[in-house]
Amino acid sequence: MAEIVVIGAGIGGSAAALLLARDGHSVTVLERDGGPLARSVDEAWSSWNRRAVSQFRLAHILLPRGGSILSDELPDVAARLELAGGLHLDPIDGFLRQSGTPRRHREPDDDRFTMLTGRRSTIEWVLAVTLEIGPSISVRRGVAVDSLIAGSRAAPGTPHVAGVRLDSGEEIAADLVVDATGRNSPTVRWLSALGAIAPHEVVEDSGFAYYCRFFASADGTVPELRAPILTPFGSMSVLTIPSDNGTWAIMLYASSTDKLLRRFRQPEVFESVVRQCPLHAHWLDGEPISEMASMVGVSDRKRTFLVDDQPVVTGMLSIGDAAACSNPSLGRGMSFALMHTVLLRDMVRKHLDDPVELAREFGRQTELEIGPWYDETRRIDRSRIEEMRAIADGREVEDTPQRRMAAAFDAAANSDLTVFRARSEIMCCLTRADEVLSRDGLLEHAIEVAGTAVDPPPGPDRARLGELVS
């Protein structure tokens, strides 16, 4: 069994450490953020030092894809999340209630859409608590990895990582290093210092700006979903994200170039905009438990560690946001990190003794299993940001067959259970859009329903938004 160092105790690093330790490896987790572990869910939210993760106190939802990985692979973590006040959210029940559809239309496998979710601070805290009690795991918080240590090469011309050097100068040897350093990951710089060929990296600003505030109820309940969790309104979108222990987040997002909508960061503007959305306004009926927070400059970035099918490095594997991070509006990042973690564990099971094969197979499988999800997320985001920008600039939104089909699909999903289920598969990160949309007769059915569909959720158009923010 191996000595494994995991860099980063975020979502991916914590889950990877647990899975690898449960396979019998000895795991050391190194986390830059220091200070004691929060003692409770409330403390995790209010005062746990997670300065290195800038989105830590912004809206997060754990989609069913990520949730099912927790319950299948780390059931004790899922149980702890439930005990900590995690929220079960059942979108099908919500749809039946809103549309007045009788419950007999619920199907047994509709349970796959039910999510166990919570604030990011709560999800990460239950992972951190599990790490603390996990056998074969040592967690060191407040230590930052500064560089990688080179070992004897496993393949000519390819550097091999044999451990890490902390910023204190301390060196820690490892048979395998897992890089789970997140969005701000220094991996490329570290590899360059090691003399590695640069991984192929594509980075672009996603173009979105986020404005978010958290609320809590006095009685521990969360507001009823009367519209989809993610509702587009022309040049802005509204996310209403129910969370643990009677808390929830409202997030508005728009193009970061839309100067007018930057005023969303003012609490009174934010509130007046949400009040103008009749199916969302009741989400304001709680006690604010955070200040207004905003975030811009969120990048889409994908790294490929195989160049011409050869690994650029052996002895280190990158997972989660350190490998690929996408704009968060579809709420997929934690699920991707968990999917990647399971893949890592499986590849380590198969190829631990052969560092070259391990790096190569992990790279190939990442491209096959995670790559298409990342590409789809990016495609959906590109389409939405173009639409937002066109509306903000007063231009016609380009009328393409794909856009028309997507609009029909979304409209039909508001009133038709078959289309709602199909759309939920995509939104819950269970099945990719291309697979769902290629199903026999589904689009034709959606287009037919869309012709008679109920109106989309009501909200302010661009002109009204202009009045509200001024």
Contact footprint for ligand FAD (CB under 6 A):
7-13, 30-33, 52-53, 55, 58-61, 144-145, 180-183, 210, 295, 298, 320-322, 325, 328, 331-335, 337
DSSP string, 226-288: -S-SEEEETTEEEEEEE-STTEEEEEEEEETT-TGGGGGGSHHHHHHHHHT-TTTGGGG-SEE
Shortest Å distance, C-beta 188 to ligand FAD: 13
**C-beta nearest to ligand FAD: residue:** 10
| CB of 154 or CB of 227, closer to ligand FAD | 227
Shortest Å distance, C-beta 134 to ligand FAD: 17
CA dihedral angle for residue 262, residue 263, residue 268, residue 272, rounded to 10 degrees: -80
Longest dimension (CA), the chain: 67
| CB of 159 or CB of 333, closer to ligand FAD | 333
Contacting residues for 17 by C-beta, under 8 A, at least 6 apart = 4, 6, 9, 27, 29, 131, 134, 137, 139, 178
Shortest Å distance, C-beta 335 to ligand FAD: 5
| CB of 17 or CB of 279, closer to ligand FAD | 17
| CB of 160 or CB of 183, closer to ligand FAD | 183
Shortest Å distance, C-beta 59 to ligand FAD: 6
| CB of 99 or CB of 299, closer to ligand FAD | 299
Shortest Å distance, C-beta 159 to ligand FAD: 18
Shortest Å distance, C-beta 432 to ligand FAD: 16
User: In 3-state terms, what secondary structure has residue 325?
Assistant: strand
| CB of 28 or CB of 235, closer to ligand FAD | 28
Shortest Å distance, C-beta 30 to ligand FAD: 5
275 class by beta-carbon count within 10 Å (0-12 exposed, 13-18 middle, 19+ buried)? middle
HSE-CB for 260 with a 13 A CA cutoff: 18
Alpha carbon distance 149, 316 (integer Å): 11
For residues 118-140, b (16+ Cβ closer than 10 Å) or e, as one string? bbbbbbbbbbbbbbeebebbebe
The token pair at 239 is 């996310």
Calculate ∠ Cα 21-25-31, nearest 5°.
Answer: 60
| CB of 328 or CB of 460, closer to ligand FAD | 328
